Amino acid sequence: MKEQTNVQAGNFKLVDYCYLAGMLLPILAGILLKILFTPASSGIQVTGPMIFFTIPMPVQDLPITESQVNSWLVVISITFLCLYLTHGIQAVPHSKRQIVAEWIVEKTDHLVRENMGDFFMGFVPFIGAILGLSAFSSLLSLFGLFPPTSDLNVVAGWAIMVFVLITHYKLKGGIVSYSKSFLEPTPVLLPINIISEFATPVSMAFRHYGNVMSGSVVSVLVVAALQGLSNMLLGWLPGFLGEIPFLQVGLPAILSVYFDLFSGCLQAFIFAMLTMMYVSGGFPKEDYERKMARKAAKNQ
């Protein structure tokens, strides 16, 4: 019996190691791709994502970029992280990982309930996925990788997906109710209401992209400026000491904590909050309830 228990414990740990490897290997693969495909350069360079290869298509060729690859690496890492946190889960928490997993679920559940209401509790996995994908994508810059959130194409895709959800729930009250919303509070505002409808995904995309990208640009410029200042002030030191950028020690790390950690997580939270606000705010609850009541009366 004891031997069987040891075997089970060994198998449990082996699965844990596999999940941990699944979390880390995608990041290591991204670093390896970065090293292999990044050309040698000198000076300051602020560029977009690298294009690894292009797939010929009938209308327009499809480039496979660093953003797409890194997005999939983040998805794989998050998947194995979830598997690791829920491995061996039981009705009564007995491990720290299960406590962490339950805390994440409870906080996301509370966030959706407070901002969207009980009707939208099915959005809990979606909002959790947005928070995780956005935050971890921005945190890739800590490993020297290109964060997908710095690519407008990526965040624009997310914003368009949210826009489809917003429109779907606005139509829950019926096409007539949705059409009338463009005439409120006065028909004179019809052109402005139409523009504001399509401005929603544009503002969400540019807000997220602009904040993450600007942080990366500022960090690169500050690091380059400190290197030049260090050479100018301390270049007189003898030997290799004059080549060491002493002034780069400290400040870049502080900037990284702000732009990569705090700002990246903050933008993920803002994007999730805007998603919840737009979806729940655009839902015509009264019109939907009247529509359901008419349908129920008709079926009777």
DSSP 109-151: HHHHHHHH-GGGGGGHHHHHHHHHHHHHHHHGGGGTPPPGGGS
Cβ 208 vs Cβ 271: under 8 Å = yes
N- to C-terminal Cα separation, the chain: 62
* Pair (124, 170) in one structural domain: yes
* Pair (175, 56) in one structural domain: no
The Cβ-side half-sphere exposure at 211, using a 13 Å CA radius, reads 23
Q: Is residue 223 one of the residues assigned to a domain?
A: yes
pLDDT, tens digit (0-9, with 9 covering 90-100), for 97-121? 889 999 999 999 999 999 998 889 9
Q: Is residue 192 one of the residues assigned to a domain?
A: yes
pLDDT band at 240 (very low <50, low <70, confident <90, very high): low
pLDDT band at 40 (very low <50, low <70, confident <90, very high): low
* Pair (278, 209) in one structural domain: yes
pLDDT, tens digit (0-9, with 9 covering 90-100), for 162-204? 999 999 988 888 888 888 888 887 888 888 888 988 888 899 9
Candidates 209, 196, 198; CA nearest to 271 is 209
Q: Is residue 40 one of the residues assigned to a domain?
A: no
| Residue span of the structural domain in which 64 resides | 1-30+52-85
Candidates 35, 42, 34; CA nearest to 65 is 34
Cβ 267 vs Cβ 160: under 8 Å = no
Task: Taking the CA atoms of 295, 297, 298 and 300 in sequence, report the sign of the dihedral they define.
Answer: positive
Q: Is residue 96 one of the residues assigned to a domain?
A: no
User: What's the Cα-to-Cα distance from 193 to each of 7, 38, 43, 102, 146, rounded to whole Å?
Assistant: 65, 46, 47, 42, 37
* Pair (68, 140) in one structural domain: no
* Pair (227, 130) in one structural domain: yes
Cβ 201 vs Cβ 156: under 8 Å = yes
d(CA 255, CA 189): 44
* Pair (145, 279) in one structural domain: yes
* Pair (257, 294) in one structural domain: yes
* Pair (115, 73) in one structural domain: no
- The yes-or-no verdict on residue 242 having pLDDT over 60 is no
- The yes-or-no verdict on residue 299 having pLDDT over 80 is no
For the chain, helix (H) and strand (E) counts, in that order, are 10, 2
Instruction: Over range 112-141, report the average pLDDT.
Output: 91
Structural domain total, the chain: 2
pLDDT, tens digit (0-9, with 9 covering 90-100), for 262-286? 778 888 999 999 999 999 888 888 8
Q: Is residue 273 one of the residues assigned to a domain?
A: yes
Q: Is residue 264 one of the residues assigned to a domain?
A: yes
- The yes-or-no verdict on residue 41 having pLDDT over 80 is no
Q: How far is CA 43 from the centre of its chain?
A: 30
* Pair (75, 135) in one structural domain: no
* Pair (14, 134) in one structural domain: no
* Pair (63, 143) in one structural domain: no
Q: Is residue 166 one of the residues assigned to a domain?
A: yes
Task: Write phi, then psi, for 179 (nearest 5 degrees).
Answer: -70, -40
Candidates 217, 210, 223, 197; CA nearest to 270 is 210
Instruction: Over range 215-232, report the average pLDDT.
Output: 69
* Pair (232, 116) in one structural domain: yes
Beta strands 62-65 and 51-55: pairing type? antiparallel
Query: What pTM was estimated for this model as a whole?
Result: 0.83
Q: Is residue 93 one of the residues assigned to a domain?
A: no
- The yes-or-no verdict on residue 153 having pLDDT over 70 is yes
pLDDT band at 123 (very low <50, low <70, confident <90, very high): very high
